[in-house]
């Protein structure tokens, strides 16, 4: 029997209204997808983690760039 590798990915969607949130949560449930709503604090933490990762890859990110980067995710 052959082992299959399943590549799972995460999709982050920033919704603008309660109606949009309901549409996406309903769709996720209907498709049997795992879903959860993240807090503003978790969103900010993720944005910071992505900025750190970018800095590690490039080798340098100046303080001004980090401090002027909007808080949260850029989609």
Region 59-74 average pLDDT: 66
For the chain, how many helices (H) and strands (E)?
3, 0
**Average pLDDT, rounded, for the chain:** 80
pLDDT of 43 above 90: no
Q: What is the pLDDT of residue 29?
A: 93
pLDDT of residue 70: 66
* Model pTM above 0.95: no
Report pLDDT for 56: 76
Domain boundaries, the chain: 37-69
Quick one: pLDDT at residue 72?
A: 57
């Amino acid at each position: 029997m052959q082992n299959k590798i399943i590549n799972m990915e995460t999709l982050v969607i920033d919704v603008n209204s309660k109606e949009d949130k309901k549409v996406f949560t309903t769709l996720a449930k209907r498709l049997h997808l795992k879903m959860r709503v993240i807090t503003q604090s978790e969103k900010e933490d993720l944005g910071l983690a992505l900025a750190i990762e970018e800095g590690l890859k490039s080798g340098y990110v100046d303080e001004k760039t980090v401090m002027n980067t909007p808080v949260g995710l850029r989609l």
